[in-house]
Amino acid sequence: MPRLALLVLAALLLPKLAAAQPGLAAPYTIAERHGIFAGGGLWAGNISCDGTDCGDFREAGGANGHIGYLFGPNLGIILDLWGMTSEDNDVAITFVAATVGVRLWLLPRLWVQGGLGSGHAEVRVGPFGARGDDVPAGELAAGIELVRGPSFALDLSIKGAAGSNTDENGDVTTGRMGGIGLSMTWFAHRHYAPVLAASR
């Protein structure tokens, strides 16, 4: 998948480029991040929905944006808006999930996330317009901070979301997406202390 290859290449190169920048390679310890954080990223993966037009998983790309609040250095609440889309053989599928959840840092560089909210699945077939449904949705994610600074982080993460609904006729509408993403997060407040080299 071309999108996935580009993301993996960027994930391998960006930490080296960041370390080469003045000041970023200086050693420090982060005592605490707290307060507001926000960011966004680009994604590559797969998308699917129910129905005869889009039952199989297909290659897709998309983006996300998030904003949250850290109650402590390891736990925060997060609002995440994530969308993926795919177009092939005159059929376009889009799934957008908006969830409110929790992000937990299991280790200084490793976090997991889960949330609940709503999703919008839309299918467009040729020139005949689009049909869409709004459904309850859930989301799970995990990420690792490739570059970790006092006020920012560059994450490589995996995420999946799904939503389904049953209408009055008993028909079930389901949208699903999963992928790997590269994202940046900025932290508004932090405490950190430089590590001073021994002078004697």
Distances (CA, A) of 66 to 69, 168, 193: 10, 34, 27
Pair 31, 193: CB distance under 8 Å = yes
Query: Sign of the C-alpha dihedral, residues 8, 14, 16, 17?
Result: positive
Pair 166, 124: CB distance under 8 Å = no
Summarised one tens digit per residue, pLDDT across range 5-17 is 444 444 444 444 4
**29: pLDDT confidence band, cut at 50, 70 and 90?**
very low
Pair 86, 138: CB distance under 8 Å = no
Write 1-5 long-range contacts (CB < 8 A, 24+). 1/44, 1/59, 3/44, 3/59, 3/61, 4/44, 4/45, 4/180
Predicted structure pTM score: 0.74
* Whether residue 26 has pLDDT greater than 70: no
Residue 3 has φ and ψ, to the nearest 5°, of -65, -40
Structural domain spans, the chain: 2-20+37-189
- At which residue do the structure tokens 């859930």 appear? 138
Summarised one tens digit per residue, pLDDT across range 45-99 is 998 876 555 556 688 999 999 999 999 888 999 999 999 988 877 778 888 999 9
Pair 62, 82: CB distance under 8 Å = yes
CATH of 2-20+37-189, one of 2.30.30.140, 2.40.160.20, 3.40.1390.30, 1.10.1740.110: 2.40.160.20
* Whether residue 38 has pLDDT greater than 80: yes
